[in-house]
Structure 1
Amino acid sequence: MRKYGLLLSLLFTITSAQAQQILEVPGINEFAKIDTNGHSVLPSGRYVTPAGKTIRITDDPFGLSISPDKKWAVTIHNAAFTRVDLINHTSKRFPDFGTSDKVSPYGKSSFLGIVFASDSQSFYLSGGDAGNVHQVDILTGKVIRTISLDGKIGEKTFKDSFASDMALISEKNELLVLDQANYRMVRIDLGTGGLKSSTATGRLPFGITLSPDHQFAFVANVGMYAYPIVEGTTPENIQSQYIPHHPYGNDTKESREGTVINGKKIPGLGDPRADEAMSVFQINLQTNQTEKIYKPGFQLGEMVEEMEVVGGSSPNSIAVGSQFIYVSNATNDNIAVIDYKTKKIKAHIPIQFSSLLDKRRGYLPFGLTLSKDEKTLYVTLLGLNAVAVIDIKTAMTKGFIPTGWGPTRVKLSADEKTLYVTSCRGYGAGPNGGAGYKAPKQGTYIGDVQLGTFQAIPMPSATGLAALTTQVKNNTFVVKDGSKRGNATFSIAKPGQSPIKHIVYITKENRTYDEFFGQFKGANGDSTIARFGLNRTVYEKGKTFKNVDVSPNHHQIAKAFSMSDNFYCDSDASIHGHHWMMGVIPNEWVETNSSVSKSANYFSEAPGRRFPGSTGSMDPEDYAEIGGIWEALERKNIPFYNFGEANETGHVRESWSDTLTGAGHIVMVPMQKALFKNTSHNYAGFNTSIPDQFRAEQFETEFTEKWLSGKEKMPALVTIQLPNDHGGDLDSTAGFPYRSSFMADNDLALGRMLQFLSHTPYWKNMLVIVTEDDPQGGVDHIDAHRSILMMAGPYVKRDYVSHRHANFGSILRVIYTLLGIPAVNHYDQTASILDDFFTETPNFKPYEFSFPDKRIFDADKTMIRYNRTIDWRKIKKTVEMDNEEDQRKNH
């Protein structure tokens, strides 16, 4: 047998004559934890050590306003706000925790916009989905009045408004409100509550600010397209108008001009470089007309550092001075400098954190504020957990100040001696269940236990800023000598030396580690919450079943191969998870719209109502500058194929009969261009009305036709979505009488897939990675983000539990390294290296699946409605594959 170098050859290192250096997260040997007096360990393995005085507040504070009398700060959350007493450094939430969004006095939705009245006695809060603005008393939290954005202005009547960011023209007692649904800026007379004017903006207007003389309003737009529905669709014929997949790849002839699918005319989206897309509008407030449209940041098709730009710049927030405005371009990690008097883009200031990381995007500049002397700009970096301090004159980053996880907004005190900073995830989540756990008053859902933070940070001196900058770097990564990794199997090898040639990346849905593996011996679990484990007592619909094996294959795979008890999803929910796991850090648009209640109306005249926000698929508003894993593979001409990933958007139909892809599309949103042509149109993605047994059959059939028939060679990467552990609506006639039935369905399908793969000729060069997209469906005694990571294959250790801290970046680092692909973002570049999973001595023994307990799941019943039966005898015989001995001989 040939000897190979380490399977995980570290391809992208910093080399010197003395050592081979690698970057990894600082918490590689720690479990996630919250320690407000020391360092907290995030799911990524990075630390957070917020500077200054920190208050924990409700999650996702995406808006921040300071009262003119400097006594109060107010942050906005979905259907709630937090009032911070700046003098006593205390906070109060309105309404109290436990109040349903449906009965919140502020409505079920509030979004981004919050601004104080001139007298500091009240403030205005944007009502988000309700399309209104509330005036709220600062002391009592009572709503004084509500003003709707809907109504007639001139000759046009506006409906279905969605209120977003706001600005106050104090001397005129007027409020400017962005309406994301109707793509406009609304001007309100606060004296009468009447609507004075409506000015068209770009798509999805997100941030607004005023020039110091109040002559201009500047609006940042994060939208890429106005998404149409299938031509000819009416409320009466809509069910016959759906198509089974995304209509086209982004920025293609079809996406620009339209196409025809299944005889249906599909409208085009136009040019993604249009003025309305990802732009800044300069609006003259004397005429209510747009005087200039700017296109900041890098544009689609440009070459940046020898790679093509595929994602828009996402200009989102604006700071203004006497001559220049400063725009945060989240996707490009830079700040646009625009001279609004000469109406020209003057420059772009790059965020300069570390020469080791700066070429890998993901800092995600978001909120920003300018010093009074206009010499210093402070920028929250959503993806770096820090505020950047930028010197305007030199366009250099002077330093960084550590914040909580995901900083959103930053403001200066009147004397500029204090910075006020909010973060959406604070110190992280911590545990949300387990023996002895006491649930907090806000509940145990991951998004509720994961509180945000409000920081009051004394302005640091030059020496203090240098120390804080060092702290931010130490929180983010450490540089190690790759030649001194102890007993770990680790070496530097050239691309292509690994015997692993095929990677199968399987994602499941919404489960924590403890739910499946809490009872697993030799690992850090809590058996009291292992409800989907082995030999469990299951209580379902008034019935009790004892000694139930809910997930025998998960346990069998973990025992037969390798698993982690220290793996975390970076995500809270699917909208984040399917971005993170495919190499795209969720930007400010994804984060904000995922936190707010919103509704769609396909037939609305408000274009934003057809596309109220992104979901599990990546939409054009979400793309990273150079994309994610799909674009990285395409750049290197590495073949890949996708089963089920990225076919879910906020408007899809998910019927049990949508079996071609699991979805029916009516609003025309493109798929990533690289992925569109490499995706199966005969595999059901997310749709829990379809059994995973159906998916297993679809997968085996297409795999056989494509890659076992000899027509094509199996590609280097195959991605598979296997979602039914998410759970769904109970239906005994469809084979799902109990909640645990969905888990058993998922478990059996996973076992079937691994058995199938392990009996193919490709097995001898295969790695299978199994994980979850997010952990929101369960609880865990270590951290609400802790979830499942298993690896299987001949070169994976047998009966091994890894305790090394891992996250999605770690998985991607495995894939990128084995396939010879450079890291796409700085999370992948610094993620922990999971070389401990692997061995240089292969074991080709295939996997044989086990059946779950038939009392809770009968797989045959799930196929009845499809008029199909499962040929278990054929499946158990496996397929026409090499046996273990043949594979050893061929090795």
Structure 2
Amino acid sequence: MQLRSLIAAALAAVLLGAAPATTRLYSAPAGNRPAGIPHPNLPYVAILPSGRIVAPVGRSIAIGANVTALALVPGGRFAVVGGSAASGGTLLRTIDTRTMQIVARVANSGSRSEAIGGLIALHDPAMPGRTILVASEARAGKIAIFSIGKDGSLAPLHPAISLPGSDPEPMRLALAESGHLLLVADDRNGRVDTIDLATRRPIASMSVGALPSGLAAFGPRIFAAGAAANASNLAIRALDSSAVGSENIPLDAPLDGATTIGGVDPESVAIEPGGRFAYVTLAGVDRVVAVALDASPRVVDGIDLRLFANAPYGTMPTAMVPSMTGRELFVALSGLNAVAVLDASTPGVLHRLGLIPTGARPVALSLAPNDKVLFVANAEGNGVSATLERIALTKIPLERTTLSALRYSRVSHLVRGNVLVPPLRSGRKSDAISHVVDISLGPTYFNSTPNLRMLANEFAVVGDYYADAPNPELGSQLTYSGTITPLAWLLDTFRGRTAVEAMPPDLYPRSGYIVNALARAGMSYRVYGAMVPEGPSAIGIPLLHVLHGAVGYAPKAGKRASDRALAAAFTARYSREAASGNVPSYQAIELSSNNPLVQDRALGTIVNTIVKSDAWGSTAIFISPRQAIGATQADPKHSFAVIVSPYAKRGFLGHAHASTASVLKTEEEILGLPALSLGDLLASDLANYFTPTLDLSVPQIGTNERMER
């Protein structure tokens, strides 16, 4: 022990004396301010759990639901938003666009995964003079139709239209033939169904590929963007098979599972007014591509919408709407809480004009017929409620709003080199910490977790920490990648959590998870109960091939995970690895028991094994929940994180705003990895919770209690 103390003193002297060059570091703009609405008189200006700020331009109204779709009623007097109610079931709201007040509500009770997939408002081909709203009810597999009153009221027209085939899942909608035909994207069956709105009958169905998220029509052709077997494409089909042949235009190269992990995730399709080009948003790679629609359709150009050149992906362009003149293209950036305004005056060639701040996670856009007003549906709005935002485009000082959008997303400052936790993008790894253990907790509370309480009292606690995922499945993606992809949000909303676990290619972030970054860097890792969706067989998914041989514990197929079995598996393997000096650089552990006490005992066993090993002196353990757990009544996402390490500040309680991505960013900094996404790049790190003063004392952890699932 005396030798260890001498080594500790020498290392501390080295760390204190080091003074490398400065590095530019990005952080969340919240600083020390908590999440919430700082000014009651400004209810739509908010600090988000991520530490970013939303201050939407124009006028907003709270919808009080999970918004997924938006339609502007002909004439522009009313807008209708659709989504799912907080208590489950579908929900529709009509908003008077002049007063920005809700004038009609329709809600149907149902399960959590029932929601509106798409909306279109139009003059009824079956009854001239009547205006109708068409809504796709994904879970019910039907198309509902409502008459729209002069006051914006919605009255259902029965019966709903049933779609052909097995277990249909209608999502995106589009009109063809001047509004006479309705096109319906069936996500589950990978096809587009055509409905004659005059007769209310399906008349045709065509295969377009998996998950056709983007849908549009022009003249005799249908355009559907979605996932193919191994790469996304734009499917071009004919309304009349004699008019034009079928085409599949590749939007991505096959994924290699090493540098390209997730797909490009096409989200929307728009046709420029002349019909010569189609635009497709690719949320997975922050890009809008132009596809020439001549005799040989092909991708001819595109625009990169990343935050800056070579930035990690994460602005996530989703919805899109061109102006009536075609001179501008408006693109929702759901990962930046902004709308990008693009110059499209030369068809097929796009240039940036600027940004307009929106509410949190804009997912749908609609433009008034005169091109003067833009409506934005924000799924997370002010962090409390979804919102509809009305933006008067004639009054936008675009240069100023662009600077505001950037300021709301990050702050930038130069920091001196830190050899203990080097700043991201410094090109260094920690000189003292070579082993990182990430322990992700399920629902837990301090009053039933004696081991967690003891560790929190003795080590460093992130006091103003926010777990900003609504459930553990989305929380896992956020924990290991720093972001949640649009497709993950979509599948979680419409199919529930098991769909997220199934992990189709476009659900993954482009650069993958931290294990993919470690594999690219040639570093070792192991996972226990983490990242494996459905037991060991799930490793066969090509995108998860990096987990072959790296799974320390996963439940057997059809069985629930056991925290007790996980802790035992970790203890046995870690003890062998520590004794031989082969502890992996990174280990991810997910505890999942619904019993907080069982989870806490497993936590105690794991931490006790680490602190009593020879690797303890070079280890940092991060303990945090992977979902919102309602730790405080003021904000259900307000939670905690605990850092256990010989280099953690003992008994320290920090009050700087931090989030789930903050933990990932700090782990990347310690291990010398690049940022995986915009989420971790712009998050505030936890470097301030570490000290160069080494303290090898071992905490007293209780691990002898009987543990059961």
Question: When the two structures are superposed, what TM-score results if normalisation uses the length of structure 2?
Answer: 0.88
Alpha-carbon distance change, 844 to 353 in structure 1, aligned in 2, over 3 angstroms:
closer
Alpha-carbon distance change, 494 to 625 in structure 1, aligned in 2, over 3 angstroms:
closer
2:587 matches 1:702: no
- The CA deviation at 1:675 is 2.7
Tell me what 1:389 maps to: 341
Alpha-carbon distance change, 349 to 679 in structure 1, aligned in 2, over 3 angstroms:
same
Tell me what 1:456 maps to: 390
Mapped to 1, the partners of 2:440 and 2:523 lie a distance apart of 21
**Root-mean-square deviation (Å):** 3.0
SS across alignment from 1:457: strand
Tell me what 1:121 maps to: 131
Mapped to 2, the partners of 1:38 and 1:149 lie a distance apart of 39
Mapped to 1, the partners of 2:358 and 2:525 lie a distance apart of 38
| Contact 2:359/2:378 (<8 A) preserved | yes
2:404 matches 1:471: yes
What are the equivalent positions in structure 2 for 1:107-506 lying under 5 Å apart? 109-119=114-124, 121-139=131-149, 140-151=153-164, 158-169=165-176, 171=178, 173-211=180-218, 214-221=219-226, 223-225=227-229, 272-273=230-231, 278-287=232-241, 291-297=246-252, 299-301=254-256, 308-321=259-272, 322=274, 323-342=276-295, 343-351=297-305, 353-355=307-309, 358-392=310-344, 393=346, 395-429=350-384, 451-460=385-394, 464-483=397-416, 495-506=428-439
Tell me what 1:859 maps to: 706
SS across alignment from 1:755: helix
Deviations 1:593-633 (A, max 9, x none): 212256xxxxxxxxxxxxx9632574422122222312211
Segments of 5+ residues of structure 1 without an aligned counterpart are: 152-157, 226-271, 430-450, 517-532, 534-549, 599-611, 653-660, 728-741, 853-857, 864-891
Tell me what 1:2 maps to: 10
Of 41, 66, 70, which residue of structure 2 is paired with 1:64? 70
- The CA deviation at 1:847 is 2.4
- The CA deviation at 1:824 is 1.7
- The CA deviation at 1:160 is 1.1
| Contact 2:270/2:321 (<8 A) preserved | yes
Question: Which amino acid in 1 is paired with 2:356?
Answer: I
Deviations 1:487-521 (A, max 9, x none): x999998724521111110101145xxx42xxxxx
2:506 matches 1:621: yes
| Contact 1:297/1:336 (<8 A) preserved | no
- The CA deviation at 1:749 is 1.2
Mapped to 2, the partners of 1:333 and 1:378 lie a distance apart of 14
Alpha-carbon distance change, 197 to 497 in structure 1, aligned in 2, over 3 angstroms:
closer
SS across alignment from 2:376: strand
Question: Which amino acid in 2 is paired with 1:136?
Answer: F
2:453 matches 1:555: yes
Of 79, 84, 108, which residue of structure 1 is paired with 2:95? 84
- Number of residue pairs matched? 674
Mapped to 1, the partners of 2:607 and 2:694 lie a distance apart of 17
Alpha-carbon distance change, 6 to 569 in structure 1, aligned in 2, over 3 angstroms:
farther
Mapped to 2, the partners of 1:747 and 1:205 lie a distance apart of 43
Please state which structure has a larger fraction of its residues in strand.
2
Deviations 1:77-126 (A, max 9, x none): 03111211112211256335xx6326xxxx97233211113256221110
- The CA deviation at 1:845 is 1.3
Tell me what 1:23 maps to: 26
Alpha-carbon distance change, 108 to 757 in structure 1, aligned in 2, over 3 angstroms:
closer
SS across alignment from 1:395: strand
Mapped to 2, the partners of 1:149 and 1:201 lie a distance apart of 20
SS across alignment from 1:101: coil
SS across alignment from 2:116: coil
| Contact 1:647/1:686 (<8 A) preserved | no
Alpha-carbon distance change, 489 to 186 in structure 1, aligned in 2, over 3 angstroms:
closer
Segments of 5+ residues of structure 2 without an aligned counterpart are: 1-8, 85-89, 125-129
Mapped to 2, the partners of 1:813 and 1:290 lie a distance apart of 49
| Contact 1:643/1:685 (<8 A) preserved | no
| Contact 1:685/1:723 (<8 A) preserved | no
Of 512, 518, 521, which residue of structure 2 is paired with 1:633? 518
| Contact 2:528/2:566 (<8 A) preserved | no
Alpha-carbon distance change, 287 to 89 in structure 1, aligned in 2, over 3 angstroms:
same
What are the equivalent positions in structure 2 for 1:641-680 lying under 5 Å apart? 641-648=526-533, 652=534, 661=535, 669-680=541-552
| Contact 2:361/2:378 (<8 A) preserved | yes
Tell me what 1:539 maps to: none
Alpha-carbon distance change, 378 to 824 in structure 1, aligned in 2, over 3 angstroms:
same
Question: Which amino acid in 2 is paired with 1:346?
Answer: V
Question: Which amino acid in 1 is paired with 2:632?
Answer: D
- The CA deviation at 1:808 is 2.0
Mapped to 2, the partners of 1:685 and 1:832 lie a distance apart of 38
Tell me what 1:826 maps to: 678
2:109 matches 1:100: yes
Deviations 1:775-830 (A, max 9, x none): 1x435234221122101011111111111111122111211111111112222122
Alpha-carbon distance change, 690 to 337 in structure 1, aligned in 2, over 3 angstroms:
closer
